[in-house]
Amino acid sequence: MGALDYLEDLDRSVFDSANQQDYAVRAQKGLSEALIRKISATKNEPEWMLEHRLKSLKQFNEMALPTWGVDLSVLNFDDIIYYAAPDEMKGYATKWEDVPDDIKKTFERLGIPEAERKVLAGTGAQYDSVNAYHKLKEEWESKGVIFEDMDQALKKFPDLVKQYFMKCVPFSDHKFAALHGAVWSGGTFLYVPKGVKVTAPLQAYFRMNAQSMGQFEHTLIIVEDGADAHYIEGCSAPKYGSTSLHAGCVEVYVKPNAKFRYSSVENWSQDTYNLNTKRAIVDADAIMEWVGGNLGSGVTMLYPCSILRGRGARADHLGVAFANKGQIQDTGAKVIHVGPNTTSTVLAKGISKGGGVSVYRGLLQINKGAKGAKSNVRCDALILDGDSRNDTYPEMKIYEDDVSIGHEASVGKISDEQLFYLRSRGLSEDEALAMIVNGFIDPIVRALPLEYAVEMNRLIEMEMEGAIG
Amino acid sequence: MLKQFEKKVVKNGDVFVMGAQPFLELEIEEGAEVIVMDDFGINTGVPSREILIEIGKGANVKWTGYQHHADEVTSCDQKKFFLKEGARLNLYQNILGGGNSLDEITVELKGRGSEVFSQIVFFGHGKQNQTMRVNHVHMGENTKSNMISKGAVMNESHGKVLGYIRMEPGCSGADGNLTEHNLLLSSGAKIDAVPGLEIGHDDVAASHAAYMERVDDERLFYLASRGIPEDDAVQLIMEGFFLDAIQNMKSPELEARIFQQILTYL
């Protein structure tokens, strides 16, 4: 069986089906100080983490919902399970054989083992709140690369975690950052030491399983001076009738001369509110690349952010958002130029179909002192039918005169001429549409590793099925 | 206070000069070819206005606006245009004055085949805080809109230019374009630019672009090597930046006034 064979059986229902689970430590619905203390005690956390959680809870209760973007007032914070762990999970397993069968089955359906064995250097997959499986090839471990479950990392490397934890995205940032600070659980910790170049991509796959539960995984990535790494995150949640909330947090520190690429394909089920915060601090002459695809979830509000702190730092943002029936994909990129001679490029592609709404909401800020900053932002949209819509709100705040900025956007539809041409070559209308859409997002898919690119194309094709009539 | 809108009708061939009414409703007759001159500033004595303009079928309107309040004035100017079938509006708005100003223009392209061209020219100096908002709303079929903004900021002024193209469901064949050009002249000046698109219909074409430029050392050096001192060089570059836009208005009298005003700031 080849590495990509699982894709042939890939079926949307895989992502939308739930396994029967007993939740041993499953917490009650709603948020309270007692719950926070319980989470912290269950995980045996150090005192400072509990304090941080409580401070965040206080902040969460004091803060109002954001007044811009998608209306979030329908979210009922009392009706969400904030922490759950399958009872059969004890800590985490380093060998595939140790993972319980039931969970293995789910991952096998998602194609994780093949991907891990054939292509990837290590895998951390979050199954609900406790990592089911975590492994890093010995080669990288011997060079000092740490690729851990976040809870384990807190136990094994408390000082390192304390130094960086929620320093890039402070809990006071917004209401959902505060919520995350209070109830975060699991996630990935990646540390790449000075000068180490990890050539194969590192992968983690997140999946929500319990009904009405939130997923608040924390991803903390530190890439030291001159190091190089590529991390891939995939997300899918089973489909359920009541609202799930995902408020994860990704913090990335790219040290001088380092290079880091963060790729993610997010495919949550349609009832999920995906309110993720992703941010990177980029030091001198370092490069940060964000590659993202947003396909699932009911409401997505996701704006990966790069803060270009050091001289000559660079950020590249590539993103695709596909909004199908009943979906709002409110995504974009934020780049803040702080250091001189920093450069950034943003390429965003939005596709709307069947009444879906895709929104590009971006920020480009050039701070005073960011002399010689250069930025180019391009966002394109494709609207596939009359019911769908696309909005573009690229905000630019320029507080330095020695800069060079360009922004362009265009919105279009598939012309009858294009379709007619492809049909005259013997393609069906569905196939022709899928081909045009795949061509439209090609620049972004190309930046993904092969098996993700194939999966992304497959997912787009599935979304496109029945596009006509 | 209840808004008391004064009503005026503009007929074919009229050159209508705007007065000092804070609330005004203008009706431009069907098929009329008119020019509206809107000199809004120190001479009017009114800092804020709300104006509704209905442009009749097939009418063609050229609107030249010049906002030149004193530096300490806080002003708010809102204009709403409603275009009927085949109507055409050429709007030239020049914003130089005001300490803290909002100039908002909304153009609703209601009738089939109606068209608008809006050009915003602004220049911020001192500690001015100027906000310009232009909304082009496509409602009818085959409607066209084009917006160009050219703005320069110097000293510690802050210019905010918000341009939106909105395509409502049912505006098949609509075409909207928006370009924002900005020039930063001093290191303390700030620009916020939002070129927004809100597209609710698939059979349309829309695009926008925004650029930030500065007076770079290379250009200054080139001009200096030709014996032109820096102050004059900056003025030349400025004139070059605004020239085509200002000449677009084909109104030599206003053109001269605007250039003169800008020169007093440099």
Q: Residue A364: inside a domain, yes or no?
A: no
Report the percent of chain A where pLDDT is more than 90: 33
Counts for chain B of helices (H) and strands (E), in that order: 3, 16
- The pLDDT of residue A7 is 38
B223: pLDDT strictly greater than 60: yes
The reply to whether residue A410 touches residue B202, judged by beta carbons under 8 angstroms, is: no
- Interval B29-54: pLDDT, tens: 999 999 999 988 877 778 889 999 99
Q: Quick one: closest CA in A to B171, which residue?
A: A386
Q: Quick one: closest CA in B to A365, which residue?
A: B192
Interface test with A, best of B186, B201, B213 (most A CBs within 10 A): B201
The reply to whether residue A394 touches residue B194, judged by beta carbons under 8 angstroms, is: yes
B19: pLDDT strictly greater than 90: no
Question: What's the longest Cα–Cα distance across chain B?
Answer: 62
Only one residue has tokens 């995150």, namely: A233
Calpha distance A277→A178 (Å, rounded) = 11
Q: What sign results for the dihedral spanned by CA atoms B232, B233, B239, B242?
A: negative
Q: Quick one: closest CA in B to A376, which residue?
A: B211
A434 or A150, higher pLDDT? A150
Q: How far is CA A388 from CA A266, A329, A394, B201, in A?
A: 21, 12, 20, 7
- Range from A223-237, A316-330, A453-467 that averages highest in pLDDT: A316-330
The domain total for chain A is: 2
The reply to whether residue B210 touches residue A403, judged by beta carbons under 8 angstroms, is: no
Question: Which residue from A384, A402, A407 is facing B210, i.e. has the nearest CB?
Answer: A407
- The pLDDT of residue A452 is 67
Q: Residue A171: inside a domain, yes or no?
A: yes
Tell me the nearest-neighbour CA distance from A337 into chain B, angstroms.
Answer: 14
Interface test with B, best of A401, A402, A437 (most B CBs within 10 A): A401
CB B84 within 8 A of CB B112: no
Query: Do the bridges between strand B129-138 and strand B174-184 make them parallel or antiparallel, or are there none, so unpaired?
Result: unpaired
- Interval A379-427: pLDDT, tens: 888 888 888 888 999 888 999 888 888 887 777 777 778 888 888 888 8
C-alpha angle with apex A264: A441 to A387, nearest 5 degrees? 45
Same domain, A294 and A425: no
- pTM for this model (two decimals): 0.80
> Domain ends where: A302, A321, A352?
A302
Tell me the nearest-neighbour CA distance from B39 into chain A, angstroms.
Answer: 30
| Closest by Cα among A393, A239, A368 to A303 | A393
H or E segment to which residue B25 belongs: strand B23-28
- The pLDDT of residue A110 is 53
Q: Quick one: closest CA in A to B189, which residue?
A: A399
Q: Residue A154: inside a domain, yes or no?
A: yes
> Domain ends where: A256, A271, A302?
A302
CB A213 within 8 A of CB A84: yes
H or E segment to which residue A156 belongs: helix A150-156
Q: Residue A253: inside a domain, yes or no?
A: yes
Tell me the nearest-neighbour CA distance from A393 into chain B, angstroms.
Answer: 5
Q: Residue A374: inside a domain, yes or no?
A: no
Calpha distance B29→B124 (Å, rounded) = 36
> Domain ends where: A302, A332, A356?
A302
The reply to whether residue B195 touches residue A398, judged by beta carbons under 8 angstroms, is: no
**A107-111, B24-28, B69-73, B173-177: the lowest-pLDDT one:** A107-111
- pLDDT band, residue A123 (cuts 50/70/90): very low
Mean of per-residue pLDDT scores for chain A? 79
CB A147 within 8 A of CB A198: no
Query: Do the bridges between strand B6-10 and strand A389-398 make them parallel or antiparallel, or are there none, so unpaired?
Result: unpaired
The reply to whether residue A413 touches residue B194, judged by beta carbons under 8 angstroms, is: no
Q: Residue A158: inside a domain, yes or no?
A: yes
Interface test with B, best of A398, A417, A419, A433 (most B CBs within 10 A): A398
**A11-25, A83-97, A188-202, B251-265: the lowest-pLDDT one:** A11-25
Q: Residue A84: inside a domain, yes or no?
A: yes
Q: What is the ipTM of this complex?
A: 0.75
Same domain, A424 and A294: no
Calpha distance B46→B66 (Å, rounded) = 14
A81 or B108, higher pLDDT? B108
Eight-class DSSP state of B22? S
- pLDDT band, residue A5 (cuts 50/70/90): very low
| Closest by Cα among B249, B156, B264, B166 to B208 | B166
- Range from A103-112, A177-186, A402-411 that averages highest in pLDDT: A177-186
A118: pLDDT strictly greater than 60: no
Which residue segment(s) compose the domain that A442 sits in? Answer: 420-469
| Chain B residues lying within 8 Å of A393, measured CB to CB | 194, 196
Q: Residue A133: inside a domain, yes or no?
A: yes
Same domain, A37 and A185: yes
B25: pLDDT strictly greater than 90: yes
- The pLDDT of residue A317 is 94
